[in-house]
Amino acid sequence: MDTVTRPTIIRRRTPLDAAIGAVAGFIATVLGLIVLAWAILFVTKGRFLKPTFVKYASKYADRAVAVDGDFQLYFNPFHLKFLAQGLTLANPAWAHDRNLFTARLIDTEISTWDLIFGHQHVLFLTLDGANAGLEIDKAGRNTWTFAGDEPFKMPPIDRADITGSVAHYIDAKHKADVRLSFGDLAGSVNGRAQEEVAGPLTFKGGGTALGAPFTLRGAFTTPNSTIRGGSTGLELHAGVAETTIDVAGTVPNTTRIDGADLRVTIAGRNLQTLFKLAGANAPASRPYRLSSNFTKDGVDYKFTRIAGRFGDSDLAGSLTIGTGGPRTKLVADLRTKVLDVLDIGPWLGYSPDKLDKQGGKGAITTVDGHPRIIPDQPIDISSLKAFDAAVKYRAGRIDTGTVPISNLGIDLTLYDRHLVLKPVVFDVIGGRVTADIDLDAQQEPIAIAYDVRTTAIPIGKLLTSFKVEDNGTTANIAGHIALKGEGDSIHSSLASSNGRIAIVVSQGTLWIRNIELAKLDLQNFVVALLGKDLKKSRDIRCGVAAFTVEQGTARTDPVVFDTGRAIYTMKGQFAFPDESLGLSLRGRSKEVSFFSGQSPIGIGGYFAAPKVNPISKELIARTGGAVVLGIVATPLAAIIPFVDLGTAKNSNCAAVEKAETAAQVQAAPPDPKTKSQKKKVLGIF
């Protein structure tokens, strides 16, 4: 059988086949190169890339990067493995610390898949002997912002093992120099493995803040979130300038407090100390303990739900410290239920330490051998330059131990060294006091203006509040003080002040006993005593205690007190510079008396230690004259020097109640006398 040979079919290669083959060959070549590169890196651990890494890392950071020891950079097997011994990352030339970061060892693995999509994800990190040198200069530059103005951001870390780490932080603007050492940390936050760090990441250290030494210890209580760079639980305890600070809550991450949710407790001997450290001013205080919620909102530091005590007084409210303007601004709304009067003292310049030890006597100092009570604490002008303020303060009741005071309100504004308290208001036994105080530190010396008004304060209740018998007084007092002076304290401004002081007494009644004793009228006092009329009321027609103040010396202008039986005038002066008193009170009767002293009662001493002297030179002379007449004439003639014919006339009450000057009151025609029943004297008339 013949064999049939089939023809051979030759297939020609199409262009598509050629393209596919080329692509496949290219891919195979690339894969081969990748595998070869991977193999080379895996075998060599990428140690030969050390110079390249140093070069490009330095270029990216725009500062020197160096690795002194072993270096590894390879895929292990798929994720990027990085190891460096003796790594240093330099700081800018202006920084105090030479390096931003150094470490004896960094061993980490980074997710390759996340890198492909532009994310950084650290699978594990071993860090030993790390040191960070962080700094902000006065211009606001920081050491952790690299070329391109991109600050360093902590990537999420699944597992970490950190030992022997220290951070040094300098803030030139706030005069801070802080060094912290961190406790060792080891653990995992891999979500799939459900493993977590068991304990907090602790830290402790100290340094200086705002120029004052301090100590610090604390912990990041949520290390799992902290390592991821997320919301961080924080506990912190610090001590600075006799002040303790405790903080607990959360911050967005370890480098930001914007949006923080913290509870801060501050306690110390004087709240002013802490504010001075911050470059601001605040009233001095007795020992205090205050707690508050705290957060940072942009340029504002906000303290809300304030609660606590200063001295023996409670305090609540809110405070915001704004840093967005040319000067720091304090905005506060504060409230007190019961304010102890001693806690007001430090606001006025009295020493809180002396008030704590001596009570009210702590307000008295001795200068040139004399007591002084007006505070002479210099006003801190430098701090007034550093901040502005808008403060509202309210107190329901002031505990004075004597006069009941309530409904205190103070509105304070400070703008560019111009401090205004307007108004300062409070209620006193049904009356009301309103004060405006203007302190202008834009000029030298400081100009201070006082404008104080009082309305309808009952004299009787005022006396009984001091545990003094009210003397049957039903009249009220109202007053106006308008003074302007210059100086760096309350005392110096009053010592140079000019203006007027006037206290007007309304119509009312007063016991006979006090009317007769004030004019040393023994006869009519005895008559009233025998007639059991000492506590019988007599009309007060009008009265004024007015003083014209020139260069700190207040001269009577006039002091007049007019009753149905007598008129009383006061002469003399008192002086703010040395707080001395040099006054004399004289009573002139409107009715006949055969035994009246008709001489002034001296009021001397000092504001803090007044003295009353009823024995005047005139009384001594009158007594001497009586003795002489009794000897040379008859014993009956001895009473002549003591006879008061009762020629005193009524004052012009319209002029008195307007608090006009002495010249105007004297020039005004006297009011007509009212008809009154004649009173028998010792049953003779």
pLDDT tens for each residue of 606-649: 988 888 776 555 544 544 444 444 444 444 444 444 445 556 78
User: Which of 437, 438, 436, 474 is closest to 456 using CA atoms?
Assistant: 474
| Distance (Å, whole) CA 176 – CA 167 | 13
C-alpha angle with apex 589: 584 to 592, nearest 5 degrees? 145
Here the tokens at position 50 are 């050390």
CB count in 10 Å sphere of residue 56: 12
The band of 6, judged by pLDDT with boundaries at 50, 70 and 90, is: low
Q: Are the beta carbons of 425 and 407 closer than 8 angstroms?
A: yes
SS3 523: helix
Q: Are the beta carbons of 85 and 105 closer than 8 angstroms?
A: yes
**Alpha-carbon torsion 270, 275, 278, 281, what sign?**
negative
User: Which of 380, 350, 421 is closest to 608 using CA atoms?
Assistant: 350
Contacts of 340 (CB under 8 A, 6+ apart): 311, 312, 313, 398, 399
In this prediction, residue 395 carries a pLDDT of 95
The band of 94, judged by pLDDT with boundaries at 50, 70 and 90, is: very high
- pLDDT mean over 575-599: 73
Instruction: Give, for 114, the enclosing helix (H) or strand (E).
Output: helix 112-116
Here the tokens at position 420 are 């205004």
Residues in the chain: 685
In this prediction, residue 586 carries a pLDDT of 78
Among 118-122, 375-379, 483-487, name the most confident range.
483-487
pLDDT tens digits along 445-497: 999 999 999 988 887 666 655 454 555 577 788 899 999 999 999 999 999 99
In this prediction, residue 223 carries a pLDDT of 64
- CA-CA-CA-CA dihedral for 166, 172, 174, 180, to nearest 10: 10
- pLDDT mean over 588-603: 61
In this prediction, residue 5 carries a pLDDT of 55
- CA-CA-CA-CA dihedral for 294, 298, 301, 303, to nearest 10: -40
Here the tokens at position 209 are 């803040």
In this prediction, residue 542 carries a pLDDT of 86
Residue 69 has, within 13 A of its CA and on its CB side, a CA count of 12
Where are the strands (E) in 22-79, listed by range? 65-67, 71-75
Position 279, amino acid: G
Least confident of 92-106, 144-158, 335-349: 144-158
- pLDDT mean over 152-176: 79
pTM for the whole thing? 0.72
In this prediction, residue 394 carries a pLDDT of 96
CB count in 10 Å sphere of residue 41: 20
Q: Are the beta carbons of 201 and 167 closer than 8 angstroms?
A: no
- pLDDT mean over 645-673: 83
Among 142-151, 299-308, 509-518, name the most confident range.
299-308
Instruction: Give, for 334, the enclosing helix (H) or strand (E).
Output: strand 328-340
Q: Are the beta carbons of 182 and 162 closer than 8 angstroms?
A: yes
In this prediction, residue 685 carries a pLDDT of 24
Q: Could you say which DSSP state residue 278 is in? A: T
In this prediction, residue 334 carries a pLDDT of 96
User: Which of 367, 360, 372 is closest to 400 using CA atoms?
Assistant: 360
In this prediction, residue 9 carries a pLDDT of 53
Among 192-196, 455-459, 530-534, name the most confident range.
455-459
Helix extents (H) in 180-232: 223-228
SS3 357: helix
In this prediction, residue 650 carries a pLDDT of 85
In this prediction, residue 524 carries a pLDDT of 47
Distances (CA, A) of 102 to 51, 84, 168, 365, 500: 18, 11, 12, 59, 72
